[in-house]
Amino acid sequence: MDDRIRDNYANDEPELPEVQQSGGPKAAGSPARKRGIARKNVSAIVAELIGCFLFVFVGAGSIMANTWTQGSVGLLGIAIAHGLALAVLITIFGATSGGHFNPAVTIAFLVARRIKLALGFGYIAAHLVGAALAALLLRTIFPSFVWKAAQLGTPGLSNSVSVGSGIAVEALMAFFLLLAIYGTAVDTRAPKLGGLFIGLTVTACVLGGGVLTGGVMNPARAFGPALVSGIWTNQIVYWIGPIVGAVLGACVYEYLILPRSEEEEKFRDQNADANESVVPQQVKERNLAANRPPLA
């Protein structure tokens, strides 16, 4: 979950020799460039699949471990497992894919125009596949009496929490999460600390909302265990709430908090239709600098 989605990455690769086309302008190695972009996108999607797989495996696994040990892990342990896993995975894969591991985050970035539509759909598919594979592995590893009692880590609402209240709680936590993502990873003014504070935000939300909804904030985290266990109760809560909250959080920070000069807007619009790719933040900044007009 990192602002490393950039359509133009001209300064990230060695310059290819220009080839003169008969009767037309020069083409600067466009086939090779397209292959490079496609390879980067495949790498990003694979990173998202692996990251979501590991996140769900650790998160849902901590819930089943809590059931197996009769509560010795506790809510604090479950919250730390989710938050620490996410922090480490964002640090590992942030430079490759941006480290979303969450369809709600990807949808929010689609709304904010920080990722191309096709690549975003690829991310979401990777999240759902990774989550399902993680749940399947957990079902294989844990004894049946454990995963059945823990419902394979499938989140659920507390008895006194209605569907509407659950959606509101999940939306609020996802809103908080997106603010953390923007404030620590997207905003170039912020110090880059990997996924540390994003993971801590998830830990805080699980502690605060875990007893109400499970503190999920992630449709894939709910989808994978539900698919393998067959328990779909209140599944809609974990899609509507996180997506609405994430989109609101992204829009608030993107358009009300994040400073953007006219120069940055012009650069962004000029590259809106370019081929998508995923590159480090510093390349984005170099591209912006390269497109600035020279000083008089």
Q: In this structure, which amino acid lies at residue 9?
A: Y
d(CA 138, CA 119): 29
What is d(CA 40, CA 8) in angstroms, rounded to the nearest whole number? 13
Q: What is the pLDDT of residue 191?
A: 81
* pLDDT band at residue 283 using 50, 70 and 90 as cut-offs: very low
Q: Helix, strand or coil for residue 74?
A: helix
Question: How many angstroms from the chain centroid is the CA of residue 274?
Answer: 22
Give pTM, 2 decimals.
0.80
Structure tokens at 213: 């909804």
Lowest mean pLDDT among 7-11, 61-65, 174-178, 280-284: 7-11
Alpha helices in 153-261 (DSSP H): 163-181, 196-209, 219-229, 237-252
Instruction: Check whether 284 has a pLDDT greater than 90.
Output: no
In the chain, the domains with their CATH numbers are: 35-272 (1.20.1080.10)
Question: What is the residue whose two structure tokens read 């466009």?
Answer: 30
Whole-angstrom distance, CA of residue 42 vs CA of residue 36: 10
What is the chain's Cα-based Rg?
21
How many other CB atoms are found less than 10 A from the CB of residue 162? 11
CA 99 to CA 46: how far, in whole Å?
A: 11
More confident residue, 139 or 24: 139
Q: Residue 277 has what DSSP assignment?
A: -
First CA to last CA distance, the chain = 39
Q: Report H helices in the chain.
A: 30-68, 74-97, 103-111, 117-141, 144-149, 163-181, 196-209, 219-229, 237-252, 262-270, 281-290
pLDDT confidence tier of residue 189, bands split at 50, 70 and 90: confident
Read off the pLDDT of residues 94-153 as tens digits, 9 standing for 90 and up: 999 999 999 999 999 999 999 999 999 999 999 999 999 999 999 999 999 999 999 999
Which of 156-160, 210-214, 215-219, 265-269 is least confident?
265-269
What are the pLDDT digits (tens) for 35-62?
767 889 999 999 999 999 999 999 999 9
Two structure tokens written together for 152? 């394979």
The tokens for 12 are 């990230």
